[in-house]
Amino acid sequence: MALLGGLSFVFVGGVGSRAPLVPSVQTPGAIRAARTPCRWVSLTFDDGPHPTLTPAALDLLAEFGARATFFVVGGAVDLHPDLVRRAASEGHEIANHTWSHRDLVGRSNGVVLGEVGRTNAAIRRAGVEPVRQVRPPRGHLEASAAEVLHSLGLEIVGWSASTDRLLAEGVDPVEAALRVVAPMGPGSILLLHDGGPVGPRSLTALRPLLESLSSEGLESVPVGELVASAQRGTCSGLVDGELVGPDA
């Protein structure tokens, strides 16, 4: 819990609240981790779907029984709708990473809404109901655009950990995974990529990450379920972020 403990002090202690979700500094109002009572984290994959990287990620996740959230780029969804359907059918969550992946900082709210709305429409065309989560490119969005998305019931999701920087510095993937997971506690949201220029390098850390998480007794679930577990204070009966069964 060292990482989240530190975040609690910095972000929540400073404003005197104990909200279940840890806010992001990347975008005002964004979630970067969740105070879940479960031994859960969320692996998240950005910039796909990609014709070879996404199937490789899905195969590995299936091998470990892990579920994740895929923040997809709308233009790629239209090219590879089958991969979006496959991910959804295997229990993963499909979320929004804009249409064109252009930087949204400095853009009008209308442009931001267009990027997000067009991508949700592409996900629907693929036969999957899009979830309410959005991650802007680079994790950055200005406050006014974030407010508009929130007012539409959309959640903006950042991250609290990633192996990408260590890998870019030439750190061995196994070592990078160990360094990222060691200080991690339940509720962390990890950033990976299954598309874009960093995708191939990012995925070299996926197997060691899954092995490290497993050895720490941490399970990966989609962000929606992580958030729901934090908001509702329970680990049982959560399906697609909703409580079902006796706890509902």
In the residue annotation, 150 being an active-site residue is answered as no
Q: In terms of CB distance, is 146 or 228 closer to Zn ion?
A: 146
Q: Note the Cα 36 to chain centre separation in Å.
A: 15
Q: In terms of CB distance, is 135 or 232 closer to Zn ion?
A: 135
Q: Which sign does the torsion angle of CA 136, 12, 232, 192 carry?
A: positive
Output the smallest distance, CB 97 to Zn ion, in A. Answer: 6
Residue tagged 């879940």 (tokens) = 36
Radius of gyration of the chain (CA): 17
Q: In terms of CB distance, is 40 or 70 closer to Zn ion?
A: 70
Tokens of 92: 């993963």
Output the smallest distance, CB 243 to Zn ion, in A. Answer: 31
- Give the active site residue among 50, 164, 193, 194: 193
Output the smallest distance, CB 100 to Zn ion, in A. Answer: 11
Output the smallest distance, CB 19 to Zn ion, in A. Answer: 26
CA atoms of 155 and 48, how far apart (whole Å): 20
Q: In terms of CB distance, is 137 or 222 closer to Zn ion?
A: 137
DSSP-assigned beta bridge partners for residue 23: 31
Cα–Cα–Cα angle for 45, 50, 54, rounded to 5 degrees: 55
Output the smallest distance, CB 115 to Zn ion, in A. Answer: 12
Q: In terms of CB distance, is 119 or 212 closer to Zn ion?
A: 119
In the residue annotation, 103 being an active-site residue is answered as no
Q: What is the DSSP string of 101-161?
A: ----TT--HHHHHHHHHHHHHHHHHTT----SEE--GGG---HHHHHHHHHTTPEEB--SE
- Give the active site residue among 46, 47, 164, 194: 46
Give the footprint of Zn ion on this chain (CB under 5 A).
46-47, 137
Q: What positions carry a catalytic annotation? A: 46, 193
